[in-house]
Structure 1
Amino acid sequence: MPKSDHPENTVDNWFDSHVLAPFTVNRRKGIRYIRNDMGVSLRKIGLFKFSFRGNQDISVKLVDISSRGVLIATNIKLPINKKVFLTIRFADFKEFEIPCEIVRKSVGAVIVYGIKFDRLNDNLAEKLLATQRKLVFR
C-alpha cells in the first residue's frame, strides 16, 4: 500500500486523545467496528467542479466502520453533502466500491468526516464479520 499523505502523529494520536464534540453522540444505527487491517480511499462522483487531487483516489484513515457508513480522518478538505465513491480494500485484496455521501465533518488536529453509504451493503457487512479478528467496538 502506498505511503499515507498524513503526518505521522495525527490520526492515531488524535483518536487516543479525544473525540470531537459533533461526534460524541452516536448517530449511527449499526455497530461500529474499529479496524486497522483495511485500506480506504475516496474518489469523486460526477463531472462538475469538485476536485481533490484531480480524479485520483485519495487515501484516508479509517476511524471506524459499520454496514451503513464510515468515520474517516484526513488532512484534506472535502465538501459536505457531496457524493463520492469509497473504496474499501481488505487484507485478502477483496475490494468494495461503494457510492456514498459526506454528511458531516469536524475540524481539529485532523479533519474527521462522517460518510453515509447510499444503501445497505450486505456483502460488505458479511465480509466485515467474516474478517473481524479482534472485537473492538465503539
Structure 2
Amino acid sequence: MSKQILIIDDDAAVREAFELALEETGYEVSSAAGGAAGIDQVKQRVPDFIFLDLKMPGMDGVETLRRIRQGMAPDIPIYIVTAFMPEFLQELAAAAKEGLQFGLGQKPLSGEQIRLIVQGVLEQAQSY
C-alpha cells in the first residue's frame, strides 16, 4: 500500500504544484482547500504525511495543527510550508512549547525540494 500525502493549502495553484511534484513518486496524494476541510480528510483517513499552509482564511495553520495533533494524528509528520513565517513566529513558538511537533519551510519550494522533504521524513519515520 502506498503512502498517503495530504496537502492543506487555500491556494489552488500551490496545491496543484505540490501534486505535480509528487505525481510520479508512487505516493497517493490528496489535497484540501483549508484547515476544516483538511481535518475532515484526516478524520476519514489519517495520511502518512501532511504539508500544511499557515495563512489560510477561517482556520489558520497553527489551529489546524493543534486540532490534528490533539484528536486524530498525534504522531504523523506535518511539515508547515509558508511565505508568512514572521507574522506567525509567536504562534509557532507557542505550539512548539505545547509539544506539538512539526517541520517548517518557506515557500516557494521546488519540486525537487518537495520530493526530498517527503522522502527524507518518511524514511526517517520508518527507521523508528
TM-score (norm 1): 0.27
Give the alignment's TM-score, normalised by structure 2: 0.29
Q: Which has the higher strand share?
A: 1
Point out the structure with max Rg over C-alpha: 1
